Amino acid sequence: ILASAGLSVEVLEARDRVGGRALSRAGVDLGGSWHWPGDQRCEALARALNVSSVPQRLDGDAFAVRAGKSSSLGDAGASIAPCGPGAGRWLGGYGAVAARLAASLTVRTGSPVSAVVDGGGGDEEQDGEAAAAAVRVTVGGGAGETFSASRIVIAVPPAVWARDVAFTPALAARRRAHAART
């Protein structure tokens, strides 16, 4: 959406792959797995990325794997499935959705953000153009690569940024503590 509005967008991804907890291997979801009918944003994204959906099957035998041993739970799929009835799955898994979305963006994997410096001034305008970049983002520690932006979006769990990212000016201690517990 941001890129289609003419904004320059760059994604800094700490991992060596995109998708966060949406991880799929050979079409099997190992993280986020389901969507539900009526989620208009999710459905619009799937249409834009040309990703198809299938209903989540709840019939048949369910299996549990513990300590490397598989055991049958019998025909218990509908009663133990955490998604409940009505859920759908994306063909290729949620990882396919993340990969297709990433293909439309500039993504730098292996780029953990270590510092965010807010210099202020990002909302001001000079001669009809945005003021100089107000935020500096450093990837890696110490003399890591630095990016400049007028705005940033942090899309990781609060506990992660509270632990891993140094903010200047420093965030209020209570805010950082709350984030660390989230």
What does the pLDDT look like over 103-130, one tens digit per residue? 888 999 999 999 999 987 544 444 444 4
State which of 6-10, 31-35, 59-63, 73-77 shows the largest mean pLDDT.
6-10
Q: Label residue 53 by pLDDT band (50, 70, 90).
A: confident
Letter for the amino acid at 61? D
Average per-residue pLDDT for the chain: 82
For helices 40-49 and 94-103, the axis angle rounded to 10 degrees is: 60
